[in-house]
Structure 1
Amino acid sequence: MVMTEIIIRPVLTKADMKAFVDLPYRLYADNPHWVPPLKDEVYGLITPGKNPWFEHGEAEFFLAERGGQIVGRISAHIDHLALQQPAEQGMGLGCGNWGLFEAENGDVAALLIERAEAALRAKGMTRSLGPISLAMWDEPGLLVEGFDESPVVMMGYNHPAYADWVLAAGYVGVQDLLTYDLPIDKGLPELSSRIVAMGERSDKIRIRRVDKSRFDEEAALLLSILNDAWSDNWGFVPFTDSEIAYAGKKLKPIVFEDLIRVAEVDGEPVAFMMTIPDLNEKLKDFGGSLWPFNWAKLLWWLRKPKVRTMRVPLMGVVKKLQSTRMASQLAFMLVEYIRRDSVSKFGAVRGDFGWVLASNGPMRSVGEAVGGTVNKVYRIYEKQL
Structure 2
Amino acid sequence: MTCDQIVIRPVSGKSGRGAFVDLGRAFAAREPHSVPQLRSEQLELIDPGKNPFFGHATVDLLIAYRGDTPVGRISAQIDHLALEMPADQGFGPGTGLFGYFDAEDEEVAHALLAEAERRLRERGMTRVLGPISMSVWEEPGLLVRGQNHAPTIMMGHHPAHYRAWIESAGYTLAKTLLTYELDITRDFPPLIQRIVASGDRNKRITIRPIDKSRWAEEVRTVLTILNDAWSDNWGFVPFTPEEIAYAGKKMKPIIHPDLNMLAELDGRPVAFMMTLPDMNGLLRRIDGKLLPFGWVKLLSWLRKPKGTDMRVPLMGVLKELHNSRLASQLAFMMISQIRRNASERYSSKRGEIGWILDDNQGMVAIADAIQSTVNREYVIFEKPL
For Structure 1 versus Structure 2, the TM-score category normalised by the shorter chain is over 0.9
Residue 306 of structure 1 contacts residue 346 of structure 1 at CA under 8 Å; is this kept in 2? yes
What does 1:284-363 correspond to in 2, within 5 Å?
284-363=284-363
User: Are residues 1:268 and 2:268 paired?
Assistant: yes
What does 1:86-105 correspond to in 2, within 5 Å?
86-105=86-105
What does 1:158-173 correspond to in 2, within 5 Å?
158-173=158-173
**In the alignment, which residue of structure 2 is the partner of 1:185?**
185
User: Are residues 1:28 and 2:33 paired?
Assistant: no
Q: Which runs of 4+ in 1 moved over 4 A?
A: none
Residue 87 of structure 2 contacts residue 93 of structure 2 at CA under 8 Å; is this kept in 1? yes
**In the alignment, which residue of structure 2 is the partner of 1:259?**
259
**In the alignment, which residue of structure 2 is the partner of 1:379?**
379
Q: Distance in 1 between matches of 2:357 and 2:17?
A: 32
How far does residue 37 in structure 1 lie from its aligned partner after superposition? Answer: 1.6
Q: Distance in 1 between matches of 2:307 and 2:383?
A: 41
Q: Which secondary structure does the structure 2 equivalent of 1:28 belong to?
A: helix
| Percent of residue pairs identical | 54
Q: Distance in 2 between matches of 1:257 and 1:112?
A: 43
**What's the TM-score once normalised by structure 2's chain length?**
0.97
- Bigger drift between 277-286 and 16-25 goes to 16-25
**In the alignment, which residue of structure 2 is the partner of 1:248?**
248
Q: Distance in 2 between matches of 1:339 and 1:128?
A: 39
User: Are residues 1:135 and 2:146 paired?
Assistant: no
How far does residue 4 in structure 1 lie from its aligned partner after superposition? Answer: 7.6
**In the alignment, which residue of structure 1 is the partner of 2:80?**
80
- Report the aligned-residue RMSD: 1.2
Describe the superposition over 1:28-75 as per-residue Cα deviations: whole angstroms up to 9, x where unpaired. Answer: 334320011211111111110100001111100100111311110000
Describe the superposition over 1:174-222 as per-residue Cα deviations: whole angstroms up to 9, x where unpaired. Answer: 1011000111101111111111011111111110111111111111100
The gaps in structure 2 that reach 5 residues or longer are none
Q: Distance in 1 between matches of 2:30 and 2:129?
A: 30
User: Are residues 1:67 and 2:60 paired?
Assistant: no
Report the AA paired with residue 162 of structure 1. Answer: Y
User: Are residues 1:199 and 2:199 paired?
Assistant: yes
- Bigger drift between 235-244 and 300-309 goes to 300-309
Q: Distance in 2 between matches of 1:147 and 1:116?
A: 26
How far does residue 316 in structure 1 lie from its aligned partner after superposition? Answer: 0.2
**In the alignment, which residue of structure 1 is the partner of 2:223?**
223
Residue 310 of structure 1 contacts residue 350 of structure 1 at CA under 8 Å; is this kept in 2? yes
Residue 24 of structure 2 contacts residue 73 of structure 2 at CA under 8 Å; is this kept in 1? no
Report the AA paired with residue 100 of structure 2. Answer: L
- Bigger drift between 287-296 and 84-93 goes to 287-296
Count of residue correspondences: 383
How far does residue 284 in structure 1 lie from its aligned partner after superposition? Answer: 1.4
Residue 40 of structure 1 contacts residue 289 of structure 1 at CA under 8 Å; is this kept in 2? no
Residue 8 of structure 2 contacts residue 64 of structure 2 at CA under 8 Å; is this kept in 1? yes
Change in CA separation of 1:81 and 1:4 when aligned onto 2, cut-off 3 Å:
closer
Change in CA separation of 1:202 and 1:67 when aligned onto 2, cut-off 3 Å:
same
Q: Distance in 2 between matches of 1:60 and 1:5?
A: 21
**In the alignment, which residue of structure 2 is the partner of 1:50?**
50
Q: Distance in 1 between matches of 2:173 and 2:95?
A: 15
Residue 210 of structure 2 contacts residue 262 of structure 2 at CA under 8 Å; is this kept in 1? yes
Q: Which secondary structure does the structure 2 equivalent of 1:337 belong to?
A: helix
The gaps in structure 1 that reach 5 residues or longer are none
Residue 31 of structure 2 contacts residue 159 of structure 2 at CA under 8 Å; is this kept in 1? no
Residue 196 of structure 1 contacts residue 333 of structure 1 at CA under 8 Å; is this kept in 2? yes
Q: Which secondary structure does the structure 1 equivalent of 2:285 belong to?
A: coil
How far does residue 26 in structure 1 lie from its aligned partner after superposition? Answer: 2.2
**In the alignment, which residue of structure 2 is the partner of 1:152?**
152
Residue 278 of structure 1 contacts residue 307 of structure 1 at CA under 8 Å; is this kept in 2? no
Residue 4 of structure 1 contacts residue 67 of structure 1 at CA under 8 Å; is this kept in 2? no
Q: Distance in 2 between matches of 1:215 and 1:179?
A: 28
Q: Distance in 1 between matches of 2:246 and 2:26?
A: 30
Describe the superposition over 1:280-323 as per-residue Cα deviations: whole angstroms up to 9, x where unpaired. Answer: 01011333332232112100111111133100011000000011
